[in-house]
Amino acid sequence: MAEVANFRPAAGAKAAFGMAEVLSLAAAPTFAVMALLTSLLGSGPADLLCATAQEASPLGGMVPMYLLMSMFHSGTWLKMLACRKHSSRRRDSRAATGD
């Protein structure tokens, strides 16, 4: 267990983690834009793939799928916003105490 606590990733692993974070931040807005464009322009042939199950579920079609994917990938944004809010609270409390 001590080895896990002392694990320090190499520079290449840090770069990979950074790239994964950037990709996860890009996922939610990308899916939201895809949902918007699909609702405005229509999805064309892609809806044919979902046509058989459309009557089975109210979530049928590409627009609900893109909205769900955007929602599932929004965790990174929520985590980032929570960290910023927490750090601004700490900064405000330090300013109030004169640290």
CB 30 within 8 A of CB 36: no
Q: Is 76 exposed, middle or buried (0-12, 13-18, 19+ CB in 10 A)?
A: middle
> pLDDT per position in the chain (99 positions), as tens?
455 555 566 667 777 777 878 888 888 889 999 888 888 887 666 566 655 555 556 666 788 888 889 998 898 888 888 888 877 777 666 666 665
